Amino acid sequence: MKILSVNAGSSSLKFTLFEMPAKEVIASGVFEKIGLGDSFYTIKYSGEKLRKEKNLFDHSIAVNTLIEELISLQIISSLEEIEGVGHRIVHGGSEFLESVIMNEELVQKLALCNDLAPLHNPAHIMGIKAFMGAMPNTPQICVFDTAFHSTMKEKEYLYPLPYEWYEKYQVRKYGFHGTSHRFITKTLSEYLNRNDLKIISCHIGNGGSVTAIDSNKVVDTSMGFTPLAGIMMGTRCGDIDASILSYVSKKTGKNLDELTNDLNKASGLLGVSGISSDSRDVEQAAEEGNPRAILAQEMYAQKIANYIAMYNNLLNGADVIAFTAGVGENSKHMRELVISKIASLGVKIDVSKNDFRGEFRLITSDDSKIPVYVVPTDEELMIAIDTMNLVLNNN
């Protein structure tokens, strides 16, 4: 069966078409600058790459164009071949605790989470509505970044703030990258043939989060009410003292929104290094001896190591640690630096095993107390798996 995995942003729409259950990618692509005038799209299929410019006035035009192209490129022969569409949704609030088949009523319920993710959820809803309009007989499934974290207990997800902020305004930790952490958990559980693994999953990309998992359930995760919290990231600061905001506001005259924007977009690797948010650029500058790049890398690795040590304690000893996402999968240097900072846990890297990028591999020596794996993540595939399962169960 063919399943379409979709990630709709405010001005973009990414898709991957899978043959399931074979997990084979038939086509993938992205529609960019939707509603911005100079829009275009690219589609990759059977070794070909198509790029076209077209005025994509809104998401429904992008979706209709996608369907027309899939048929005219003979990737599918009719729309009915696609048996389900899975949508990535950043925020499911406290309402959506697992993937669901959408209907009009649930779309309205999802819209109630818009305040919690104002940059993402309204765009996802535009995507869902566009597909519902173009493919009214095809099940539309939503897969939430927050859902995997819904097993966190109150003592983990509550902030030590006035309790009524939680009761009245839903201020609590939600966690993100859940679809990725769930994929890592599934992959390691299947590979090691165990359902009771205690895993520390480190998703280190442009955004980053560390999650503690016990027996397939999240115990705690580093991101919080928003993706701003936790470890240091490409442009986000991670955990900081909240009083900095009022202090810098008084010093600079910037308001809260402007400062929050700085915490999200001008901090992290970019803020400290002053060079780039891209870890490759920072790595290169560090190799050339740039002191702020070296400092940024040291801080970046230390924050990840601190979370690993904290979660090892929370889990009462982890069985396995995993690195994933852009940096985790590709930067042997960053993996080595992080592991050097958790030596007290008895974790020992094998430098020769660590010398690669982008594959599933064990990178620790035989006498390492906790094995560390690199596990390439695949959120699109995880969305397609959920979509397939819900479609099959619904028939």
- Range in contact with ligand ADP (rule: CB under 6 A) among 68-76, 141-149, 203-211, 217-225: 203-211
> Closest by alpha carbon to 94, among 142, 144, 43?
144
Active site residues: 145
Residues 328-367 that bind ligand ADP (CB under 6 A): 330-331, 357
Instruction: Tell me whether residue 357 or residue 369 sits nearer to ligand ADP (CB atom).
Output: 357
- Range in contact with ligand ADP (rule: CB under 6 A) among 115-123, 289-297, 319-327, 337-345: 319-327
Q: By CB under 6 A, how many residues form the interface with ligand ADP?
A: 14
Instruction: Tell me whether residue 247 or residue 356 sits nearer to ligand ADP (CB atom).
Output: 356
Q: What would the x/- binding string for ligand ADP be over residues 225 to 254, using CB under 6 A?
A: ---------x--------------------
Min dist CB 339 to ligand ADP, Å, is: 16
Residue 295 structure tokens: 């400092």
Instruction: Tell me whether residue 129 or residue 323 sits nearer to ligand ADP (CB atom).
Output: 323
Instruction: Tell me whether residue 234 or residue 271 sits nearer to ligand ADP (CB atom).
Output: 234
Please tell me whether residue 206 binds ligand ADP under the rule CB under 6 A: yes
Min dist CB 279 to ligand ADP, Å, is: 4
Residues 265-294 that bind ligand ADP (CB under 6 A): 278-280, 283
Min dist CB 88 to ligand ADP, Å, is: 12
Q: In this structure, are residues 88 and 96 in contact, taking their beta carbons and an 8 Å threshold?
A: no
Min dist CB 204 to ligand ADP, Å, is: 8
Please tell me whether residue 28 binds ligand ADP under the rule CB under 6 A: no
Q: What would the x/- binding string for ligand ADP be over residues 150 to 189, using CB under 6 A?
A: ----------------------------------------
Min dist CB 331 to ligand ADP, Å, is: 4
SS (H, E, C) the chain: CEEEEEEECCCCEEEEEEECCCCEEEEEEEEECCCCCCCEEEEEECCEEEEEECCCCCHHHHHHHHHHHHHHCCCCCCHHHEEEEEEEECCCCCCCCCCEECCHHHHHHHHCCHHHCCCCHHHHHHHHHHHHHHCCCCCEEEEECCHHHHHCCHHHHCCCCCHHHHHHHCCCCCCCCHHHHHHHHHHHHHHHCCCCCEEEEEEECCCEEEEEEECCEEEEECCCCCCCCCCCCCCCCCCCCCHHHHHHHHHHCCCHHHHHHHHHHCCHHHHHHCCCCCHHHHHHHHHCCCHHHHHHHHHHHHHHHHHHHHHHHHCCCCCEEEEEHHHHHHCHHHHHHHHHCCHHHCCCECCCCCCCCCCCEECECCCCCCCEEECCCCHHHHHHHHHHHHHHHHC
Please tell me whether residue 205 binds ligand ADP under the rule CB under 6 A: yes
The residue number with the shortest CB distance to ligand ADP is: 326
Find the binder of ligand ADP among 6, 293, 327, 339 (CB under 6 A): 327
Min dist CB 284 to ligand ADP, Å, is: 9
Find the binder of ligand ADP among 84, 92, 326, 371 (CB under 6 A): 326
The residues of the shown chain that bind ligand ADP, judged by CB under 6 A, are 205-207, 234, 278-280, 283, 325-327, 330-331, 357
